[in-house]
Amino acid sequence: MDKVMSNKKIIALYVLPALLLIITLVYVPIVLTGYYGLTQWDGIGERTFIGLANYSKLITDSLFWQSAFHSFLLAIFSVISLVAYLAVSLVLSGKIKGANLFRKIYLVPMLLSSVAIAQLWIRIYHPTNGVMNRFLESIGISNPPLWLADTSIVLFAIFIPIIWQYAGFYILIYYAALKNIPESLVEAAKIDGATPLQIAYKIKVPLIASVIKVTIVLAVVGSLKYFDLIWVMTEGGPNGASEVMASYMYKNAFKMNDFGYGSAIGFFLLLIALGVTWIIRKLTATKEEIQY
Amino acid sequence: MEKATETQTTAMLPKQKRQVARKPVLTRIASGILYLALLILAVVQILPLIWLFLFSLKNNQEVFNLAPLSLPAEPKWENYVKVWTEGNISMYFFNSVWITAVSVILTVLIASFVTFAITRMKWKLSKLVLGLFMVAMMIPVHSTLIPLFSFFTSIHLMNHPLAIILTYTAFNLPITMMILLGFYYTLPREIEEAAIMDGCSIHRLFFRIILPITTPVLATTAIINMIYNWNEYVFVNTFISSDKYKTLTVGINNFIGQYSIDWGAIGATLMISILPILFAFFVLSNRIVEGITSGSVKG
């Protein structure tokens, strides 16, 4: 039995297709991105080695830091919205009629492509015909904002559909985790006279702490690399007001043909994503896992 | 400070016990408010899509003059006919269908192979290889984009569907494996022990016994992969330049960019692009829910 199940040839045959794909298309590229960052390259011609020039340019590039700031702002927004999702899930996981239907309805936007969502929200924000300003005008606001054309609010106007898109995803995760808590624990607390709020904060939330940790990492890393919806809605504009790290990278490489600098940004993005993941895991590390 | 509130709340507990008789009324009001909040959230999540459906059935005059959520006098189904026949939408649609189908089959099969080897077979590096796949989930797509662009150019796969099929497969392997892992770990060892004792080969064991047993979880991974691939944008936008290979996301984005004045046509295009997913959701919502939760929490 053991001999059959440790046949090297068969193991290699089963593992190699997946391993080759992930190494060639994920791991080799992230190393190459770091290397291409050391070169000057227009994407077609020869690569010229220029040392750390791109990276030192990146450190002093105020446009990049502005886009990094926007990415981190999105991360902070996403984490704050997690609190609201947790609250919704706590309500939903109590004995609510139709909870299953609710969580499915919440999930619908998450299933649609970012392109479709972006194109839809471009219409929603349309200054004259969009449903947003039609509504604002109907309640008597005569000068509604221009939304995507206004540099001071475009970033937040874009955050709303992103939050709208992912709400159902996080609610679903929290709901599943809360449903896993043994009924006996909640019953015991009720007998001891705990109020529903106390049960939520002192029993349910601590019990799903590990899941909350995972969602924080997902929300932060997802925000830092966010691209699709922003690219389709504004391409980072107007005037860089909604630029994020990924859109700045894409613009430099595939619009301005500066693939060396684009690679440097891509490598930086990787370091930031991995670094932030590590920091969050350190900060939220618990000394003992809760057993129940 | 925290200590003080804590003792206060415990001191309050006996009092609340005495109020038990009044509780149902209060609870009913409170849960009424909470229920309303859940309903409002449901409306917020669904209303933009209802608005989209309604304006896909209107002409510009109706979009601009009628109330946003009103029905048109006569639904303009011709918007759908027009974008389906006049633009390249039908071509993009079928590209999405076959590229998604091929990628899903390839991903699920290759992921099953490696998950089987990691969970059922004995070899030293299995933990390391598993870690390699799990870490890949944290890597931003944009950190791989330029080298992939350069790699596909050098092997003449640029503007070729195989470039996106291979990329989809590689990037969806981790999530697919994660969903499969939970199921594979629960399979009893006795199954393969009995099979091997009877002289069954490993390939036969895998294809005739393990794969059929895992059908339910395979369906879950397939639907999750289908949603991801159907909605993918960056890779197609970067690797595919000719119309004949573009998928719906990139296709409709270009199409809408060119015909940005005709709201009915835009609405119809967007509806066509999301209908397959909405349809899959109505039929398979439990599988989708299961896939999304098991693919994210068990890490």
Chain A residues with CB-CB distance to B149 below 8 A: 43
Token look-up 């400070």 returns B1
Task: Give the pLDDT score at A229.
Answer: 94
Task: Give the pLDDT score at B19.
Answer: 47
Residue A95 to residues A178, B34, B237: CA-CA distances in angstroms? Answer: 12, 12, 46
pLDDT at A270 over 80: yes
Verify whether the Cβ–Cβ distance B143 to A269 is below 8 Å: yes
Is residue A151 situated within a structural domain?
A: no
Task: Give the pLDDT score at B296.
Answer: 66
pLDDT at A190 over 90: no
Shared domain check, B206 and B141: yes
Is residue A1 situated within a structural domain?
A: no
Shared domain check, B279 and B161: yes
Q: What is the pLDDT of residues A61-101, one digit of tens each?
A: 999 999 999 999 999 999 999 999 999 999 998 877 888 89
Token look-up 């999301």 returns B274
Is residue A13 situated within a structural domain?
A: no
Average pLDDT value for residue range B79-104: 92
Coil, strand or helix at A40: strand
Q: Let me know: does A86 contact A75? Beta carbons within 8 Å.
A: no
For a pLDDT cut of 70, what percent of chain B falls above it?
91
Domain range enclosing A267: 41-98+167-283
How many structural domains are present in chain B? 2
Shared domain check, B202 and B112: yes
Is residue A74 situated within a structural domain?
A: yes
Task: Give the pLDDT score at B22.
Answer: 52
Q: Which of A2, A14, A169 sits opposite B122 (nearest CB)?
A: A2
Task: Give the pLDDT score at B292.
Answer: 82
**Residue of chain B with shortest Cα separation from A267:** B143
Confidence of residue B206 (pLDDT cuts 50, 70, 90): very high
Mind giving me the DSSP string for A174-216? HHHHHHTS-HHHHHHHHHTT--HHHIIIIIIHHHTHHHHHHHH
Query: Among residues B123, B189, B159, B98, which one has the least CA distance to residue A19?
Result: B123
Q: What is the pLDDT of residues A125-174, one digit of tens each?
A: 998 888 888 889 888 888 888 899 999 999 999 999 999 999 999 999 99
**10 Å Cβ neighbour count for B114?**
26
Shared domain check, B37 and B123: no
Q: Which of A18, A92, A176 sits opposite B113 (nearest CB)?
A: A18
Is residue B227 situated within a structural domain?
A: yes
Shared domain check, B49 and B132: no
Is residue A276 situated within a structural domain?
A: yes
Verify whether the Cβ–Cβ distance A33 to B38 is below 8 Å: no
Verify whether the Cβ–Cβ distance B296 to A106 is below 8 Å: no
Length of chain B: 299
Length of chain A: 292
Q: At A49, phi and psi to the nearest 5?
A: -75, 125
Q: Which of B121, B129, B142 sits opposite A250 (nearest CB)?
A: B142
pLDDT at B88 over 90: no
Mean pLDDT, rounded, of chain B: 87
Is residue A50 situated within a structural domain?
A: yes
Task: Give the pLDDT score at B297.
Answer: 56
User: What distance in Å separates residue A244's CA from the closest CA in chain B?
Assistant: 12
Shared domain check, B44 and B119: no
> What gap in Å lies between CA B30 and CA B15, rounded to an integer?
20
Is residue A147 situated within a structural domain?
A: no
Domain range enclosing B273: 82-297
Task: Give the pLDDT score at B46.
Answer: 94
Shared domain check, B229 and B105: yes
User: What distance in Å separates residue B122's CA from the closest CA in chain A?
Assistant: 5
Q: What is the pLDDT of residues B236-292, one digit of tens each?
A: 999 999 989 999 999 999 888 877 788 888 999 999 999 999 998 888 888 888 888
Q: What is the pLDDT of residues A214-268, one digit of tens each?
A: 899 999 999 999 999 999 999 998 989 999 999 999 999 999 999 999 999 999 9
Is residue B167 situated within a structural domain?
A: yes
User: What CATH number is given to the structural domain containing B235?
Assistant: 1.10.3720.10
Task: Give the pLDDT score at B23.
Answer: 58
Shared domain check, B224 and B163: yes
Is residue B241 situated within a structural domain?
A: yes
Shared domain check, B280 and B133: yes
How many structural domains are present in chain A? 1
pLDDT at B20 over 70: no
Q: Which of A26, A92, A96 sits opposite B170 (nearest CB)?
A: A26
User: What distance in Å separates residue B83's CA from the closest CA in chain A?
Assistant: 15
Residue B297, C-beta contacts closer than 8 angstroms, at least 6 positions apart: A173, A176, A177, A211, A214
Is residue A290 situated within a structural domain?
A: no
Shared domain check, B44 and B90: no
Task: Give the pLDDT score at A89.
Answer: 93
Verify whether the Cβ–Cβ distance A25 to B197 is below 8 Å: no
Q: What is the pLDDT of residues B5-14, one digit of tens each?
A: 444 444 444 4
Shared domain check, B243 and B137: yes
Is residue B61 situated within a structural domain?
A: no
User: What CATH number is given to the structural domain containing A82?
Assistant: 1.10.3720.10
Q: Let me know: does B72 contact B264? Beta carbons within 8 Å.
A: no
Mind giving me the DSSP string for A25-38? IIIHHHHHHHHHTT
Shared domain check, B112 and B260: yes
Confidence of residue B32 (pLDDT cuts 50, 70, 90): confident
Q: At A170, phi and psi to the nearest 5?
A: -70, -40
